[in-house]
Amino acid sequence: MRCDVVIVRYGELALKSKGVRRGYERILTDNLRAKLDCEGVDYQNIKREWGRIYITTTEPEVADVVSNVFGVVSASPSVVCSPDINEIVRVLVEVANELLSPGMSFGIRAKRVGRHDFTSREICVRGGDAILSEVEGVVVNLDSPDVELGVEVRQNSAYIYTKVVEGVGGLPVGTQGKMVSLVSGGMDSPVATWLMMKRGAEIVALHLDTSPSDVKRQMEAISRWAPNHPIRFYNVPFAFILGELVKLGTKLTCVLCKRMMYRIAKRVMEIEGCDGVITGSSLGQVASQTSRNLMVEMSGLDIPLYHPLIAMDKTEVM
């Protein structure tokens, strides 16, 4: 089916106070625009209405692109018409003729926002009757139709769609300040970074370098999720510090090593104006991540530490 507009739906933003919500919507719109520009997808403009963002485009794949922007719950390529029931029914028949063939089933789901002289049920009944009359050999199936026709009626327009692309959800990056993320080149730290980006945090990556790794390439890959907020990357030589700690010959090498990392992270946090430090720690996964060692490592640091993987095992992280 043709595409006039992609509807972008969000979730948590709608629960915020009016002023906060407006600011979050603006950040989400900017992030959507940056993502589309980064991917080189054709679109004309982006506009906000209460509860929805609309991207004017003839490219249905825009829905797939924006579904990977934090804050987006779902997206649908849609045909636009006036919020008149006769026009809605006409477009429903037009779309059904495009997508349905004899032996196929369909269902209609409709919802309205604003004041209209018809109900959602009337849309479904009149639309269904018209399709059964105009499209040969099709049947209604509301439980598991071959094609589900969605209708969303707003105050000034109606939107007909058949595809709902699930989004990544969360909050838009840039709504929760900046965080320093300790990244090692392994699996845990990029997952922890991604999860905190999903909660709206902008990232400053800090790698304490003891050996060659692909950590910078990892951060470049994660940056693609938020092109409007490029990840600043610090690579700090750490091999000498680790060597000096090993020379002490103590069983506390892992704990002392992590404390030194946190001290460096605190300094980067101050330089960048960040609000906390992210780690890939998982409770009990390695010696430095037992409950007691985690307590000792952060003792007296006076900075917020975030451990988004704390209750996950390796399989869940993978």
- What top-level class would CATH report for the domain 5-166? alpha beta
pLDDT digits (tens, 9 = 90+) for 268-314: 999 999 999 999 999 988 877 889 888 888 888 889 999 999 999 99
Segment 167-187 shows an average pLDDT of 94
Mean pLDDT of all residues belonging to the chain: 93
State the architecture of 178-317 in CATH terms.
Answer: 3-Layer(aba) Sandwich (3.40)
Amino acid at 37: D
Q: Rounded to whole angstroms, how far apart are CA atoms 94 and 89?
A: 9
Helix (H) or strand (E) holding 65: helix 62-66
Query: CATH 3.40.50.620 occupies which residues in the chain?
Result: 178-317
Q: What share of the chain is helix, strand, coil (3-state, %, to 5)?
A: 40, 25, 35
pLDDT at 216: 85
pLDDT at 251 over 90: no
pLDDT digits (tens, 9 = 90+) for 81-117: 999 999 999 999 999 999 999 999 999 999 999 899 9
Q: Rounded to whole angstroms, how far apart are CA atoms 153 and 112?
A: 5
Segment 232-250 shows an average pLDDT of 87
| H runs (alpha helix) in 155-299 | 188-198, 215-223, 239-247, 253-272, 291-298
pLDDT at 211 over 80: no
Of the given ranges (6-15, 40-49, 216-225, 282-291), which has the lowest mean pLDDT?
282-291
Segment 195-218 shows an average pLDDT of 89
Query: CATH 3.30.2130.30 occupies which residues in the chain?
Result: 5-166
pLDDT at 317: 92
Helix (H) or strand (E) holding 141: none
Q: Rounded to whole angstroms, how far apart are CA atoms 79 and 158?
A: 8
pLDDT at 162: 97
Are residues 215 and 183 in contact, defined by beta-carbon separation less than 8 angstroms? yes
CA atoms 118, 121, 126, 128: torsion sign: positive
pLDDT at 138 over 90: yes
pLDDT at 61 over 70: yes
Q: Rounded to whole angstroms, how far apart are CA atoms 143 and 136?
A: 21
| Nearest one of 198, 143, 130, 141 to 169, comparing CA atoms | 198
Q: Rounded to whole angstroms, how far apart are CA atoms 95 and 89?
A: 10
pLDDT at 212 over 70: no
pLDDT at 139: 97
pLDDT at 276: 96
